[in-house]
Structure 1
Amino acid sequence: MQTVEQALKKLEKSKFRSGFHLSEQDKAYVRAKGMETICRHAEDFVKNRLAPANLNNDGKQTPMRGHPAFLAQHATACCCRGCLEKWYHVPKGVPLTPLQQKKIVNLLMKWIEKEMEA
């Protein structure tokens, strides 16, 4: 199993994934809300939009803008079950465990932290 840092390094090699960055507006939102609130939002998004075994709108459930966590999901290939399967070998059709959800949120938050430093 790869670490968060290993996953981020792998994602940096993807032209598509490495093209995502927080805008100044996104960064202002993170500063205004705080990382704890952003983390709670990310937990909710993962639990409700990604964790269920079968999603009617898989591949379209994560907007490209509107919240820093959405952008992080695309940047880290945690935006849909198809990307989770391709990048992390997480099978479709099986609900995500609480541990898997936590690992995804940790990856999202680490990406956001790095973007806030940039």
Structure 2
Amino acid sequence: MDISDYKKYKEIYKKLMKSEFRAKFQLNNQNKEYIKNKGINKIQSHAFEFLNARIKPEFIKNDGKQTPMNGHPVFIAQHATATCCRGCIQKWHKFPKNKELTDEEVEYLVGLIMFWINIQMMD
């Protein structure tokens, strides 16, 4: 991540944390242990897998319900960062619904998820 990415993520993070709904998501000790055991690179790999399968496609049958609220640290991070469904992504990140996300858009979203996770791991 270069400095311009960091600045972008920091700005959107500040906005997201002003949302009562987004700010309530936190990693618990079990989530943090999972991340420590798997390693941050494996968690990032999971984030790419989840977004490519559940978020990237042009049409998502169950959009708005495809991301569980718990069960994996990435799922929690997706809700905290508004990367959980195409509606939230359109509202917060301005990537239009009903078109497949580009690889660059997925990379941006995964970067934001990992930015949030790394902040959580410092607590």
Match of residue 59 from structure 1: 64
| Letter of the 2:26 counterpart | H
Deviations along 1:52-100, whole A, 9 cap, x unmatched?
A: 0100000000001111000000000000000001111111100000000
Q: In the alignment, what sits opposite 1:17?
A: 22
- The alignment-based identity, stated in percent, is 47
Q: Is 1:70–2:75 an aligned residue pair?
A: yes
| Residues in 2 aligned to 1:88 and 1:52: alpha-carbon distance in whole angstroms | 16
TM-score (norm 1): 0.97
Number of matched pairs: 117
- Give the root-mean-square deviation of aligned CA atoms: 0.8
Task: Output the CA distance in 2 between the equivalents of 1:98 and 1:41.
Answer: 15
Q: Cα offset for 1:114?
A: 0.3
Aligned mates of 2:45, 2:93 — CA distance in 1? 23
Q: For 2:20, what is the secondary structure of its paired residue? A: coil
Equivalent of residue 90 in structure 2, options 85, 89, 108: 85
Segments of 5+ residues of structure 1 without an aligned counterpart are none
> What is the match of residue 43 of structure 2?
38
Structure 2 match to 1:99 = 104
Distance (whole Å) between structure 2 residues aligned to residue 89 and residue 25 of structure 1: 33
CA–CA distance in structure 2, aligned partners of residues 73 and 115 of structure 1: 13
What is the match of residue 111 of structure 1? Answer: 116
1:20 is displaced (CA, Å) by: 0.4
Q: Distance in 2 between matches of 1:37 and 1:88?
A: 25
For structure 2, which runs of at least 5 residues remain unmatched after alignment? Answer: 1-6
CA–CA separation in structure 2 for the residues paired with 1:54 and 1:111: 27
Query: Within 2, Cα distance between the matches of 1:42 and 1:109?
Result: 8
